[in-house]
Amino acid sequence: MAAHRKDVAHASGHRETPVSAADPLPSWRDGDVKQAILDFVGRVTGGPDAVPPEDRIAVFDNDGTLWCEKPMPIQLDFILRRLVAMADQDPALRTRQPWQAAYTQNYDWLGGVITRHYHGDDSEVGVLASGVLAAFSGVTVEEFESLADRFLRTARHPTLGRAYLACGYAPMIELLGFLAAKGFANYIASGGGRDFMRPISREVYGIPRERVIGSSVSLAWEAGAVVRKAELDVLDDGPQKPVRIWSRIGRRPLLAAGNTNGDIPMLQFTGQPDRPSLRMLVGHDDPDREFDYVAGAEQALELADANGWPVVSIRDDWATVF
């Protein structure tokens, strides 16, 4: 993916890592994107365009924006392992999707469902969702969190050879710390599962669990415990993102970062009248250090080009990736 190099005229708490006054973003190479970030933060934190700290809201997609999402989203790997275990116990499931794809490691089918979703084709999303919802049905919220936490601390990325908790993008984590030091409240607004990200959000991103907005299943109070049901509560993607952001925060963000078509409504919702704003896309164009792909981001890239939103080139803008 080619990096976006248009100037952005209107470019408009985290780990306790000190931010250098000389260069608060040392993992970012000097260029238009880094300068757009610095200019935006400078404008909203000082001078005639300064914004009160309570209105300094930044929202970030997670998969592909804050951490690696290929060859599959990390949470999907977590769920697939559960589906395989279910198919081991019940052979009849091996002929049904998505258990069949999980059991035979047919990742092309799984990836195709996700890619088609980003192109507006949800014909098979319900099939995939049936397995996703059934995987942890009846499990208490505490049990699910323990399982997710253990998985994230022990499993490794299948091709990068890194622990999953080490698959966060160093420049983006650095950006989160810089924003927090400048009085921003950072939020995750992800299509991924809210309860999957919460156990590690502060440790990895410096974002407290109450600032994690994501997809969720319905919950019920049963026999003295809160349990997960095999019912979708909300899929926090596409038009649901701005709705959920408003319902949770009650403010429009000033900064938003995403990487797919599903992030377009969130990006369009970002910005307040007569105040600087910054909308960014993370572009994956580095096959040597990460991955190179545009599938599912085509419309977002067209809008970025038309509106002057910076597109981060992993290859050109990041001195390091992980």
Domains of the chain listed by start with CATH number: 32-68+166-317 (3.40.50.1000), 74-135 (no CATH)
Q: Tell me: the pLDDT tens digits for 142-179? A: 999 999 999 999 999 999 999 999 999 999 999 999 99
Q: What are phi and psi of 316, to 5 degrees?
A: -100, -30
pLDDT of residue 267: 98
Average pLDDT, the chain: 92
Rounded CA-CA distance 84/87 in Å is: 5
Alpha carbon 281 to its chain's center = 11
Which range has the worst mean pLDDT, 12-26, 71-85, 184-198, 270-284?
A: 12-26
pLDDT of residue 10: 34
Q: What are phi and psi of 207, to 5 degrees?
A: -105, 120
pLDDT of residue 277: 98
pLDDT of residue 189: 98
Q: What is the mean pLDDT of residues 54-73?
A: 97
Using the predicted structure, report yes or no on whether residue 8 has a pLDDT greater than 60: no
pLDDT of residue 50: 97
User: Is there a contact between 180 and 186 (Cβ–Cβ < 8 Å)?
Assistant: yes
With bands split at pLDDT 50, 70 and 90, how would you rate the model's confidence at 5?
very low
For tokens 């238009």, name the residue.
Answer: 32
Q: What are phi and psi of 33, to 5 degrees?
A: -70, -50
Q: What are phi and psi of 68, to 5 degrees?
A: -65, 140
Residue, of 114 and 184, whose pLDDT is higher: 184
pLDDT of residue 2: 41
Using the predicted structure, report yes or no on whether residue 11 has a pLDDT greater than 50: no
pLDDT of residue 63: 98
Using the predicted structure, report yes or no on whether residue 313 has a pLDDT greater than 70: yes
- Complete DSSP assignment for 287-321: TTTS-EE-TT-HHHHHHHHHHT--EEEHHHHBS--
> In terms of DSSP bridges, do strands 57-60 and 255-258 run parallel, antiparallel, or are they unpaired?
parallel
Rounded CA-CA distance 142/167 in Å is: 25
User: Is there a contact between 84 and 104 (Cβ–Cβ < 8 Å)?
Assistant: no
- Complete DSSP assignment for 46-110: SSTT---GGG-EEEE--BTTTB---SS-HHHHHHHHHHHHHHHH-GGGGGSTTHHHHHHT-HHHH
pLDDT of residue 1: 43
User: Is there a contact between 215 and 190 (Cβ–Cβ < 8 Å)?
Assistant: yes
> If DSSP codes are grouped into helix, strand and coil, which group holds residue 272?
coil
Rounded CA-CA distance 302/284 in Å is: 15
Which range among 6-10, 120-124, 195-199 has the greatest average pLDDT? 195-199
User: Is there a contact between 200 and 74 (Cβ–Cβ < 8 Å)?
Assistant: no
Q: Examine residue 71 and say whether the peptide bond preceding it is cis (omega within 30 degrees of 0).
A: yes
> If DSSP codes are grouped into helix, strand and coil, which group holds residue 183?
coil
pLDDT of residue 20: 63
pLDDT of residue 193: 97
With bands split at pLDDT 50, 70 and 90, how would you rate the model's confidence at 19?
low
pLDDT of residue 7: 33
Residue, of 278 and 7, whose pLDDT is higher: 278
Q: What are phi and psi of 159, to 5 degrees?
A: -120, -30
Rounded CA-CA distance 292/288 in Å is: 9
Q: Which residues of 104-120 are buried (b: 16+ CB within 10 A; e: fewer)?
A: eeebebbbebbebbbee
User: Token pair for residue 219?
Assistant: 């919950």
Q: Tell me: the pLDDT tens digits for 261-287? A: 999 999 999 998 899 999 999 999 999
Residue, of 108 and 242, whose pLDDT is higher: 242
> If DSSP codes are grouped into helix, strand and coil, which group holds residue 29?
coil
pLDDT of residue 119: 80
Q: Which helix (H) or strand (E) holds 138?
A: none
With bands split at pLDDT 50, 70 and 90, how would you rate the model's confidence at 118?
confident
Residues 6 or more apart in contact with residue 24 via CB below 8 angstroms: 38, 178, 181
